[in-house]
Amino acid sequence: MKIGIALSGGGARGIAHIGVLKALEEMGVEISTISGTSAGSIVASLYANGIKPDRIFDQVKQLSLFKSVRLAWARAGLLVMDGLKELILKNIPENNFNALKIPLTIAATEIRKGEVNYFSEGELAAAVVASCSIPAVFSPTRVNENLYVDGGLLDNLPAGCIRNQCDFLIGSHCNEISHEFDPKNLKTMIERSLLLAISANTTLSQKLCDLTIAPPNMDRFTVFDIGRAQEIFEAGYRFTKENFTSDNFKKRAA
C-alpha cells in the first residue's frame, strides 16, 4: 500500500509537521509520496531527501525571519529569502526534484495568472522559495518567466495533486484560526486575514484526504513564532502519538 502525506502552510506552525512525521515513523508508517505548501514545502523537501525528522528540526529551528531574508527594497515586496534557499542547497546540493528519495510535489501561486502551479521536476530551491513567498512581505519569485507567491493562497493543503499517487492519503494541517484576536493590532489583522483567505481551499482539500492530523490549539502560535519551535514540534508529535497507534492506523488504512 502506498501512503502519501500533504503538509499545509502555516509559517512557524509548519514545524508541527516535523513532529507528525517523527511520530508516524515511530509507528512504522512509510511515506511513498509527499507534497507541501509554503512552510510545508520546506519540511516536505527535506524529508523527501531522506533526512530524519530530528535532523530537519535542528535545521529549521535555526531559521529566523532575519537569518532567512534580506532587504530587497523592491516595489513588489520588501524581503527576499536567501537564507531559505541556502538551507535547501546545503541539504540537497543536487537542487533537483529527480535527486530526491521520495516523489515530491510543491504548490505555488502564479500571481499574474491567478492559478496554482505544482512543481515536481526541475530546480528544487526555486520552487520552495516560490511556495513560501508571502505577498506584501516577500518579493515574488520568478521561475521560468512566471511570477510566484505563496502556494497557500490557492492550495494550502496540496492533497489533490498527489491523490492519484497513493492508496491512502494523510493531511497534516496546522492552521487553526482563533476566535479571539486583537482587531487593533495590525500584524494580527494581516495574519488573520491571510488565514481566513486560505481556510476555504483547505477545507476542500481535507475532503480528499483519508485521514487528517490537525493538532489542536495551534492558534496559540503565530506564523512568525519561530522562537517557540520546540513547543510547536512537540505539539505535532504528542498529538499524533496520543491519538494514533500503529494498529489504529493500519485499520484506518485498510
**Residues catalogued as catalytic:** 38, 150
Nearest to 56 by CA among 68, 46, 45, 44: 46
Q: Residue 188 and residue 157: Cα distance in Å, rounded?
A: 22
Cell readout for 103 is 516523489
Compute the distance between CA of residue 113 and CA of residue 97 in angstroms, rounded to an integer. 24
Amino acid found at 178: S
Rounded to whole angstroms, how far apart are CA atoms 201 and 109? 13
CA distance 166 to 89: 28
Residues in CB range of 232: below 8 A, 6 or more apart: 12, 13, 15, 16, 19, 218, 221, 225
Do residues 39 and 14 make contact, with C-beta atoms less than 8 angstroms apart?
A: yes
